[in-house]
Chains A and B, each alone.
Chain A
């Protein structure tokens, strides 16, 4: 597959924890999802997060991605209190690959990445490098809707390789990736961590993820154990 490209801009090592959650609770409507969650994640660390269906893993991930606000407690991500107004600036430094591929179905794989590059101020050449790194050069001009779920997942990995986030959040990262592409998970995680960032991997595949992370936690009853 070749060596995956990583963003070429300079990176500063986080002096404070990348993530600091203190007694965080999240409610969706009146339903409590997370309750009294404490978590500290330092730069250079990769965390595996496990739990049963409905435990709140995806909710926690979305909170870390600043897509949700805590209902209670304090959540600091990359130095910013995400209950405040600085969420927009910190979001550019966070990468999230969720359950559902977040691609525009009418646009080609290359156009999807080109859009991300344009709004992030990256050069257009970054697109071809990223697609080449994930083995999708030949499929670059295919509309995302006509690509398989696995190809769409690879494209999302290409996007994160291109954007080189400081905090990487992966939800079921090995889902739909074939044996050749599964290495992308470890490669992307290592790339982020090696530069002083942090990664959180949520998965039901404990065996594979525990080989990639330094420690693991489990969500039970809305709390981290």
Chain B
């Protein structure tokens, strides 16, 4: 049989479409993880006090912590849901592992983008956050979603089948620190106009690029070591 290998991009799109379709049917991110993150934002003031100026000041940081910790659950869900049979199927169909990585990342990043927007809106309302540097959100939010999606997908590939569902958050959380720092510092209301946000956004972009390159280059070796 001399069927030519299909190109990478259509395979990646098919993988992303599959993951998003599965999520639409399962609704785990929409109906479980997202409300869970919103509940966390509600619980925090009950523990630390409901002083409005304090909450307004720390609200942005709390929002990004919830995005990081609960956003990891979005990618952990993937690792837990995909059993050995699912991973075998990707191998048996001969899907390029790099396409699986890219497709998975696109799906995870898309779900995380929705997660960030909803949780962020809840944080703005609950903590009365002033969006003084809101134009930078247009760069920070997608960069954070992509970065967390990349890290979660890569960690899922590294930990696949090795007690992965519990190990993935432990692996992702420390590595997501530059994203957390970038997001909080870029939007810091204390920064003077035109000063300081760009380097933090570039740090986030740099993390995204590095993890993307590592993920694509190591996708095949990671699959082949199973």
User: A116–B93 contact, CB under 8 A?
Assistant: yes
User: B10–A89 contact, CB under 8 A?
Assistant: no
Instruction: Place the interface of chain B in its size category.
Output: 20 to 34
A11 and B86 in contact (CB under 8 A), knowing A116-B93, A118-B10?
no
Q: What residue in chain A is nearest B225 (Cβ atoms)? A: A69
CB distance from B94 to the nearest CB of A (A): 3
Q: Does A30 contact B (CB under 8 A)?
A: no
Q: What residue in chain A is nearest B12 (Cβ atoms)? A: A119
Of the candidates B1, B2, B5, B92, the one whose C-beta lies within 8 Å of that of A102 is B92
* Best-buried of B4, B89, B97 by chain A (most CB within 10 Å): B89
Interface string of B1-25 (1 = CB under 8 A from A): 1111111001101110110011001
| Chain-B contact segment, one of A90-98, A134-142, A170-178, A208-216 | A90-98
Q: Does B220 contact A (CB under 8 A)?
A: yes
> Hey, which chain B residues are within 8 Å of A53, CB to CB?
none
CB distance from A101 to the nearest CB of B (A): 8
Q: Chain A interface secondary structure, helix, strand, loop or mixed?
A: loop
> Hey, which chain A residues are within 8 Å of B92, CB to CB?
65, 67, 91, 94, 96, 102
Interface string of B189-226 (1 = CB under 8 A from A): 00000000000000000000000000000001000101
Q: Does B121 contact A (CB under 8 A)?
A: no
> Hey, which chain A residues are within 8 Å of B21, CB to CB?
106-107, 111
Instruction: Place the interface of chain A in its size category.
Output: 35 or more
Q: Does A165 contact B (CB under 8 A)?
A: yes
Of the candidates B17, B18, B25, B91, the one whose C-beta lies within 8 Å of that of A91 is B91
Q: Does A164 contact B (CB under 8 A)?
A: yes
Q: Does A88 contact B (CB under 8 A)?
A: yes
User: A120–B93 contact, CB under 8 A?
Assistant: yes
A119 to B2, CA, bound (A): 16
A115 to B103, CA, bound (A): 13
User: B22–A119 contact, CB under 8 A?
Assistant: no
User: B4–A121 contact, CB under 8 A?
Assistant: yes
A120 and B3 in contact (CB under 8 A), knowing A104-B22, A106-B22, A115-B14?
yes
> Hey, which chain B residues are within 8 Å of A65, CB to CB?
92
User: A92–B93 contact, CB under 8 A?
Assistant: yes
User: A102–B6 contact, CB under 8 A?
Assistant: no
Q: Does B96 contact A (CB under 8 A)?
A: yes
User: A100–B85 contact, CB under 8 A?
Assistant: yes
> Hey, which chain B residues are within 8 Å of A101, CB to CB?
85
> Hey, which chain B residues are within 8 Å of A195, CB to CB?
1
Q: Does A10 contact B (CB under 8 A)?
A: yes
Interface residues of A in 119-143 (CB under 8 A from B): 119-121, 143
User: B94–A166 contact, CB under 8 A?
Assistant: no
> Hey, which chain B residues are within 8 Å of A90, CB to CB?
94
A12 to B17, CA, bound (A): 33
Interface string of B139-157 (1 = CB under 8 A from A): 0000000000000000000
User: A102–B88 contact, CB under 8 A?
Assistant: yes
Q: Does B40 contact A (CB under 8 A)?
A: no
Of the candidates A10, A12, A87, A89, the one whose C-beta lies within 8 Å of that of B224 is A87
A93 and B1 in contact (CB under 8 A), knowing A65-B92, A115-B14?
yes
The 4 closest A-B pairs by CB, nearest first: A92-B94, A121-B6, A106-B25, A91-B94
10 contacts between A and B (CB under 8 A): A7-B1, A9-B1, A67-B226, A87-B224, A102-B86, A107-B25, A115-B14, A116-B93, A118-B17, A119-B10
